[in-house]
Structure 1
Amino acid sequence: MANDDLVRDRPARPEAAKDEINPTSAWLESCFAQIETDPARAHTMAQIRRSETRGADRVLANHCLGTAASELGLWNDARTAFLAAHDETPADETRTRARFAALAGNAALAGGDAAAALSLLTLAETDARAAGSATLEALAAIDRGRTLVMLGRGEEALGALEAATGLAPERAEGWLLKATLLRRLDRLDAAQTAIERAALLTPGNPDVGLEAGVIAVLSGRDEAARQSWESVITLGPGLAADTAAGYLAQLGNAGDTAPASPPPPQEPPQP
């Protein structure tokens, strides 16, 4: 799934504790390691563990099960496992509950169920707010914004992204998505401001360069668009470079003095 930090963002254990890892944590780490080499086997291991345990052991079994199911593209299984982990986590552990709700929402979104994703991501934001975790709340708000775009609710999506960039202004992803949405809403000046912020936070990000070029060409600044897309190609081969090359081919040799340039033929890849 897109937000791997939701899966892996766990506090580091103190050095002294690493040699004294408890059996529950040891099992979870072995299950995650198994996902990297054989996700199908990890999926089976987690199912067995879930059926044989209760309490925290069962919560972590569902955590690994959902992660393995995500790796296998079994999105309904992943959503069910993450939601079970959320529901079985004690009510006062709101930070952990927020992570599981966000993971369940991501799984629902990946599986094409935007309505369910919206409900789960709203729950994740509520839990994160209760936990006082601005970062987790921002991540959930970003994904809620993506979901609202899928549902054709652009103004609401913009509100979610405004919230995300306010909560975590240091995360470039929120600014990039905000710029893309503002551009789609034909608010090019605001889109330019947002993409400049994203570029400051992640210089050399090809997705930012692609979007900056699209905003520039739609604003009638062909030379700025050309420079943005050429910078993406300079970063090295890949999908972003191929997309930038296609945009440049359509732009042709016209400069800022050209009367008009048609918009690029496709949207740049979403981060």
Structure 2
Amino acid sequence: MTFLLLPALLLAPQAYDPETEAVMNRRARPQSVAPARPALPIPPQVAAPFQACLDAAVEAPEAGVAAANRWRMEGGGYYARQCLGFAYARAERWGPATISFEQAAEEAERAGAFVQSARLWAQAGNAALAGGDLAKAQAHFDAALARGLPDGLEKGEVHLDRARALVALGDGVGARQSLDVALEQAPQDPLAWLLSATLARRSGELSLAQAHIARAVQMSPDDASVALEEGNIAMLTDHADVAAAAWARAMRLAPDAPAGKAAADNLTRLSARAKTP
């Protein structure tokens, strides 16, 4: 029976799985360390130097670091520290980026810009996550949520990023709680449905896994990691034909990526076992 193929196909050591992809390969999502929108319109005297600083960081991260530090010394406040964090993130210098976003968040809070502070704590959390400091990442996401964000996509993304940190920390229960909020607040993000489906599969909630991977496939049909997980869940639910088709799609979409290679490996194992008397 195809169900008996599961130990060899899914539980054998693999270099890739969707949770690893969600936490590591996608750890520096563009929106995660992009400049947060201000809680209030930026004062005119701040808008121009802020944009100039960001532009410098985009063009050359180290030039952005220098520009942000100059502006900070001239009294740029938390906007300057925010730009500094952004510049460090552009350079993938995650430790200094985390510190800069932390300092920006604290300064914004002292200035009474609480929503902006929450957004900056979320950016600090993503910088910490990208740098592998998982406990700090969780703490910063908690800080962001504690300071209040309006309902909608932004709050959902923070819960999703918190779930990514908790997955990496091995806290499946906490990750599920944050993912449920993320799915409610940011249902348009296919990564949330993918990670939710993977957690559901691993906890044995196969009906939930099927429903959530179906949403991910609908929203992101050209994502190899989604196709790989679709195949994993199909195999668990005794649909080897669906699994083979999904893995073949993953392999076609990204033959040289970890997801495509894992799918190809699964297809090879499935084929070999099908030929075994």
1:125-204 equivalent positions in 2, closer than 5 A: 125-127=145-147, 130-204=148-222
Q: Aligned match of 2:84 in 65, 68, 77?
A: 65
Shift in Å, 1:253: 6.0
After superposition, the C-alpha distances for 1:231-265 in whole angstroms (9 at most, x for unaligned) are 2233355414333323222222666x999xxxxxx
Aligned counterparts of 1:8 and 1:73: Cα–Cα separation in 2: 15
1:241 aligns with 2:260: yes
TM value normalised by structure 1: 0.80
Q: Is the CA contact 2:194–2:212 (under 8 Å) kept in the aligned structure 1?
A: yes
Q: Of the candidates 2, 15, 30, which is equivalent to residue 4 of structure 1? A: 30
Aligned residues: 246
CA deviation after TM superposition for structure 1 residue 52, in Å: 2.4
2: distance between equivalents of 1:166 and 1:149? 19
The CA deviation at 1:64 is 1.3
Is structure 2 residue 125 aligned with structure 1 residue 99? Answer: no
Matches within 5 A, 1:38-117: 38-53=60-75, 57-90=76-109, 92-117=112-137
Contact preservation (8 Å) 1:124, 1:137: no
1:228 positional shift: 0.8
**1:134-161 deviation digits (Å, cap 9, x = unpaired):** 2221111111111112222111111111
- 1:163 Cα deviation after fit: 1.3
CA distance in 1, matches of 2:196, 2:233: 12
Once residues 222 and 71 of structure 2 are traced to their aligned partners in structure 1, the CA distance between those partners, rounded to angstroms, is: 44
* 8 Å contact kept, 2:224–2:254: no
TM-score, normalising length from structure 2? 0.79
Take 1:219 and 1:133, find their aligned partners in 2: how far apart are those partners?
A: 35
Out of 192, 195, 208, the position equivalent to 2:226 is 208
Say if 1:62 and 1:82, in contact at 8 Å, map to a contact too: yes
User: For the Cα contact (< 8 Å) 1:86–1:100, is it kept in 2?
Assistant: yes
Following superposition, the deviation at residue 199 of structure 1 comes to 1.6
Question: Which is further off, 136-145 or 237-246?
Answer: 237-246
With 130-139 and 148-157 compared, the bigger mean Cα shift is at 130-139
Is residue 2:46 matched to residue 1:32? Answer: no
Q: Deviations over 1:3-33 (max 9, x none)?
A: 322425648xx9xxxxxx9453222222222
Q: Per-residue CA shift, 1:190-212, capped at 9, x if unaligned?
A: 21111111122223222211111
Contact 1:95 1:133 survives alignment (8 Å): no
The RMSD of aligned alpha carbons is 2.7
Rounded to whole Å, the distance in 1 between the matches of 2:48 and 2:162 is 33
Which residue does 1:17 correspond to in 2? none
Match of 2:269 in 1: 250
Q: Conserved in 2, the CA contact under 8 Å of 1:62 and 1:84?
A: yes
Where does the alignment leave 5 or more consecutive residues of structure 1 unmatched?
A: 15-20, 260-271
Query: What secondary structure does 1:252 align onto?
Result: helix
Give the superposition deviation at 1:112.
Answer: 2.3
Question: What is the identity, as a one-letter code, of the residue corresponding to 1:95?
Answer: V
